């Protein structure tokens, strides 16, 4: 198991250049897709490794490491990303040891002279154990211009020039979601179609709506006005609290599809758990049915906490692809994000700017001055580098453009660490443990 984890990743590394060019995706996204395909193959043949270790566990480890690599700019970033996934790399015996932080168990080892280890060295360099020379990411960040061309092999240098519609996150059902989208909360129904069409023409490809927003008709009309093929637009909607329960959820989903004028949505969410109603499990079973019927391509939840997530996964065996929760510098929810990472659930951030409460914070202001960006852009970039999907809202074309302009700069490790200190557990929205409004 020890060497297989790293050596298999090295084989995948060699395929990155060709596959990334063909799909116009990051190597991290490609690796996650390849790993998920391997998960399916392993489950079909119920394979076990030569050492008697369940190969599905092996693949899961590869996936967790790949997810951490995909959001890391430096060795320090990688360590923090791994720790969020209850993992840790430690230099030992001239190589690296991957440890389970929950149990202290050694999961994998890699020889320092092995190609996978050297691939990590080539990527990070500075701060990497035993290798003081500047790494690719460090060199790029040190240049006067923050943009750098992709390497001929291995991971492309971040930041990159790829348009935001090509930045995707892999879902645990083998599909993917645009990392950056825009939300329709509080967008007036009368202007929703125009706002949606404008956003899509600017480059957004993820439109996040909900039945309770009262503007699903405009959401669907805006998609049609954009002129884009339906398969190029990722559409999300949500089932409201008053419609929870198996049959009511099925009817609510059909009503949303009718208002949207669509045959299916790409992602259907339960909007809030409403734990005192205790109907979210029945609603989740209804979403599973809707996915089976092709009315929702992927299914997930919103505002669920660890107890509700654990219950629906345990009762149905189906893990949500995504949990849309409040995340911003004042409410970072690291424990919930770690649970998501452990179970392959994408974190999606609502109210990502935290109503502007962190705009004047020293770490945000310092990063904005250094990068020549607005505080809002710095915070949205922070979400991107956390590996979250993020759905800011704006009704102004200038605001929509500003929120897209996140991919020609990167926050440094020090800036990410400084923003991490702003967490106060301070909510802008309701507490999911108590919110039950119909």
> Active-site residues: which are they?
213
Kindly state the DSSP code that residue 169 receives in the 8-state scheme: E
Which pair of tokens denotes residue 129?
A: 């154990």
Residue partners of 80: CB distance under 8 A and separation at least 6: none
3-class SS of residue 139 = helix
d(C-alpha 223, C-alpha 233), whole Å: 8
> In whole angstroms, what separates CA 368 from the centre of its chain?
23
For residue 59, give the DSSP letter: H
Q: Give the SS3 label for residue 99.
A: strand
Q: What is the dihedral of CA 170, 427, 394, 410, to 10 degrees?
A: -50
Is the dihedral angle over the CA atoms 172, 175, 178, 183 positive or is it negative?
negative
What does the radius of gyration of the chain's CA atoms come to, in whole angstroms? 21
Helix (H) or strand (E) holding 57: helix 55-70
At 274, is the secondary structure helix, strand, or coil? coil
Cβ pair 229, 165 in contact under 8 A:
no
In angstroms, rounded to a whole number, what is the distance separating the alpha carbons of residues 106 and 100? 6
- Helices 115-124 and 2-23, axial angle in degrees (round to 10): 50
Residue 118, SS3 per DSSP: helix
Contact indicator for 240, 210 with CB cutoff of 8 Å = yes
Structure tokens that stand for 84 in this block:
């969020």
E-assigned strands of 10-50?
none
Q: Are 27 and 20 in contact (CB under 8 A)?
A: yes
Buried b (16+ CB within 10 A) or exposed e, 305-332: beebbebbeeeeebbbbbbbbbbbbbbb
DSSP 8-state secondary structure symbol assigned to residue 345: P
Beta bridge partners of 270: 239, 301
């Amino acid at each position: 198991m020890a060497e297989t984890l790293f050596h298999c990743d090295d084989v995948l590394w060699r395929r990155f250049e060709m596959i990334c060019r063909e799909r116009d995706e990051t190597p991290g996204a490609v690796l996650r897709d390849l790993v998920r395909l391997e998960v399916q193959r392993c489950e079909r043949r119920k394979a076990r490794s030569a050492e008697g270790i369940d190969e599905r566990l092996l693949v899961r480890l590869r996936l967790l490491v790949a997810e951490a690599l995909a959001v890391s700019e430096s060795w320090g970033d990688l360590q923090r990303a791994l720790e969020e996934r209850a993992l840790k790399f430690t230099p030992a015996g001239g190589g690296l040891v991957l440890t389970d932080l929950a149990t202290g168990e050694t999961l994998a080892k890699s020889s320092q002279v092995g190609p996978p280890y050297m691939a990590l060295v080539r990527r990070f360099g500075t701060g990497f154990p035993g290798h003081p020379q500047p790494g690719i990411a460090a060199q790029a960040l040190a240049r006067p211009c923050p943009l750098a061309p992709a390497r001929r092999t291995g991971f492309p240098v971040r930041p990159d020039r790829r348009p935001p519609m090509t930045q995707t996150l892999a879902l645990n059902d083998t599909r993917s979601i645009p990392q950056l989208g825009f939300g329709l909360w509080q967008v007036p129904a009368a202007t929703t179609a125009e706002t949606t069409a404008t956003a899509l023409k600017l480059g957004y490809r993820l439109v996040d709506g909900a039945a309770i927003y009262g503007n699903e008709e405009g959401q669907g009309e805006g998609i049609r006005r954009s002129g884009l093929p339906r398969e190029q637009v990722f559409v999300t909607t949500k089932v409201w609290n008053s419609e929870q329960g198996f049959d009511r959820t099925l009817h609510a989903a059909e009503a949303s599809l009718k208002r949207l004028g669509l045959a299916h949505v790409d992602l259907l969410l339960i909007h809030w758990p409403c734990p005192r109603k205790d109907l979210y499990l029945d609603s989740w079973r209804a979403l599973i049915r809707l996915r089976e019927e092709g009315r929702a391509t992927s299914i997930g939840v919103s505002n669920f906490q660890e107890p509700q997530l654990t219950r629906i996964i345990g009762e149905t065996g189906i893990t949500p692809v995504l949990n849309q929760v409040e995340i911003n510098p004042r409410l970072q929810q690291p424990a919930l994000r770690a649970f998501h990472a452990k179970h392959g659930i994408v974190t999606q951030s609502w109210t990502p700017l935290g109503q502007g409460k962190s705009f004047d914070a020293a770490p945000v202001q310092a990063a904005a001055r250094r990068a020549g960006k607005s505080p809002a852009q710095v915070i949205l970039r922070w979400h991107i580098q956390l590996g979250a999907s993020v759905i800011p809202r704006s009704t102004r074309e200038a605001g929509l453009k500003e929120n897209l302009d996140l991919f020609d700069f990167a926050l440094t490790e020090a800036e990410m660490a400084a923003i991490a200190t702003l967490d106060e557990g301070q909510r802008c929205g309701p507490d999911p443990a108590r919110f039950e409004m119909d």
